[in-house]
């Protein structure tokens, strides 16, 4: 097991350190694992003058899986794209072919009071948003900015998908739904955008190969509304890059905090990059305030998806729930009657819960 550890910027190093601590605890001394640290984002610029140094790319290619923290800092948008710390992650996804982004949204019963929605709306929530990750407007060409013939500043990006790209993510989505509750909702904007008309057509055609999976379609604006109105109607949602980015962050608030949600970005095989959904949160970086549970749960996904260690992944998830049941909370999920803890103490509590469960 060779794992590249890319802590990145902001709160990334703090939460990743706790995920590594839990990883070592759940694997124990007998499991052979090699952890290779590599700089990315601003750390990459500081060490090698590039947010995605060549050495980091090489480490990523050789690794079986990548545990990622966060990348990007305020002011990124004023820097040329290739040199933005935050763009390092997009470049890495493209280089490694990480096209399928799994973003689960589930609610621990202990956190039902942390959601801003009524308990009856979110109780029992368990859905998966599958986001296509290497196409769409984030990568489409042409892109750029300049001055038009009237002397006005303008900028442009291109939403683009090919048929094989849509087929590929559609097959992953149907297989994912088949392993869950056999319901798939494809989200697009086919009433306005030609690229989304192709998306709907291809997803529908692929769906004929999965007659045991119920396929529905929603426009993205209706999907956003339904996520807030009745989120438990969804099992698996599949959508493009930009819509998936927005919807998955919205779904995070159903669970009480974006600091609770893990994600996995998978290539065609078992190789994946695992990261918490939250960003760098520079306002709390270095203050021992960040919630490490999303990073710890991302590491559990790493064990399950890249190495087939479902039992160890479940142990980590049970330990997280045990800690929440004890009433420990970081500031983002704090509720009256609970005990507020910092990043390090939350990580230590998960390790302690693992050890108690192991006897």
| DSSP per residue, 151-182 | S-EEEE------HHHHHHHHHHHHHHHHTTTS
Report the alpha-carbon distance of residue 329 to residue 294 in Å, rounded.
13
Measured on CA atoms in the order 21, 27, 31, 34, is the torsion positive or negative? negative
CA dihedral for 15, 19, 20, 25, sign (positive or negative): positive
- 313: enclosing H helix or E strand: helix 310-325
CA distance 245 to 248: 6
Cα 309 to Cα 26, 62, 214, distances in angstroms = 11, 20, 30
Catalytic residue among 138, 210, 274, 305: 138
Q: Has 183 been annotated as catalytic?
A: no
Closest CA relative to residue 295, chosen from 90, 13, 47, 72 = 13
Q: Pick the catalytic residue: 189, 235, 271, 332?
A: 189
* Catalytic hit among 64, 126, 249, 345: 249
Q: How far apart (Å, rounded) are the C-alpha atoms in residues 222 and 179?
A: 26
Please name the residue that has the structure tokens 């994946």.
272
Decide if 274 is catalytic: no
Question: DSSP secondary structure string, 322-359?
Answer: HHHHTTEE-GGG--TTSEE--HHHHHHHHHHHHHHHH-
- In terms of C-beta density within 10 A (0-12 exposed, 13-18 middle, 19 or more buried), how is residue 220 classed? buried
Selecting among 245, 274, 305, 332, the annotated active-site residue is 245
The answer to whether 235 is a known catalytic residue is no
- The crossing angle, in degrees rounded to 10, of helices 87-96 and 54-62 is 40
- The answer to whether residue 245 is catalytic is yes
Active site residue 189: yes
Cite the active site residues.
138, 189, 221, 245, 249
């Amino acid at each position: 097991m060779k794992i590249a550890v890319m802590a990145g910027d902001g709160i990334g190093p703090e939460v990743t350190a706790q995920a590594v601590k839990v990883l070592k605890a759940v694997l124990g001394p007998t499991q052979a694992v090699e952890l290779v640290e590599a700089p990315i984002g601003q750390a990459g610029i500081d060490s090698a003058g590039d947010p995605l140094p060549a050495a980091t790319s090489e480490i990523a290619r050789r690794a079986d899986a990548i545990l990622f923290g966060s990348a990007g800092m305020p002011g990124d948008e004023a820097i040329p794209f290739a040199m933005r710390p935050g763009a390092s992650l997009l470049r890495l996804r493209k280089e490694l072919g990480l096209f399928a982004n799994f973003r689960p949204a589930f609610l621990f019963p202990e956190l039902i009071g942390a959601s801003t929605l009524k308990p009856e709306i979110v109780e029992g929530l368990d859905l998966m948003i599958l986001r296509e990750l290497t196409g769409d407007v984030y990568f489409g060409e042409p892109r750029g900015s300049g001055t038009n013939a009237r002397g006005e500043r303008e900028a442009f990006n291109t939403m683009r998908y090919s048929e094989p790209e849509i087929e590929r993510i559609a097959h992953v989505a149907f297989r994912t739904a088949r392993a869950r509750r056999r319901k798939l909702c494809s989200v697009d904007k086919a009433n306005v955008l030609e690229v989304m008309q192709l998306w709907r057509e291809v997803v529908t055609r692929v769906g004929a190969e999965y007659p045991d999976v119920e396929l529905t379609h929603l426009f993205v604006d209706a999907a956003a509304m339904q996520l807030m109105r009745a989120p438990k109607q969804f099992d698996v949602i599949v959508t493009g890059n930009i819509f998936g980015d927005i919807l998955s962050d919205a779904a995070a608030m159903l669970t009480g905090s974006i600091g609770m949600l893990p994600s996995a970005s998978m290539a065609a095989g078992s190789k994946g990059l695992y990261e918490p959904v939250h960003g760098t949160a520079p306002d709390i970086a270095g203050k021992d305030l960040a919630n490490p549970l999303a990073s710890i749960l991302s590491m559990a996904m790493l064990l399950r998806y890249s190495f087939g260690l479902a039992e160890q992944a479940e142990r980590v998830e049970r330990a997280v729930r045990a800690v929440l049941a004890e009433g420990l909370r970081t500031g983002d999920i704090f509720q009256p009657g609970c005990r507020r803890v910092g990043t390090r103490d939350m990580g230590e509590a998960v390790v302690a819960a693992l050890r108690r469960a192991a006897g």
